[in-house]
Amino acid sequence: MADTPMTIADFQELIRDRYHATDAARGVAPTFLWFSEEIGELAEALAKQARGDGDPANLAEEFADVLAWLATLANITEVDLGKAIHDKYIEDGGPPGTK
């Protein structure tokens, strides 16, 4: 683990720097399908954990994959995740009924 925690902005930039040309060429719809597949893999890892036969390393990898593909979608649709999170959950206080 790094000595300094990675911010959401840092992570989104890392994903953009490494993958943006390929991701943008693929487009939103096919990228969303990849994202959906990763959510399915996370669901499988969570189900295994719930049954008691999960692999903690695999579970962590699946969470990381889902976050990476979410950052990819944000990048190719020009959404700043840090700002979106701030605006929704800090500035506005979150969804109705959460206070």
Residue pLDDT, tens place only, 12-31: 999 999 999 999 999 999 99
Count of structural domains, the chain:
1
CATH of the domain at 36: 1.10.287.1080
* Alpha helices, DSSP H, located in the chain: 8-26, 28-51, 56-76, 81-85
Q: How far apart are CA 74 and CA 8, in angstroms?
A: 12
What pLDDT is stored for residue 96 in this prediction? 72
Q: Among 16, 13, 63, which Cα is nearest to 38's?
A: 63
Residue 4 lies in a domain: no
Domain span at 41: 27-91
Is the pLDDT at 7 greater than 70? The verdict is yes
Q: What is the pTM of this model?
A: 0.87
Residue 49 lies in a domain: yes
Residue 96 lies in a domain: no
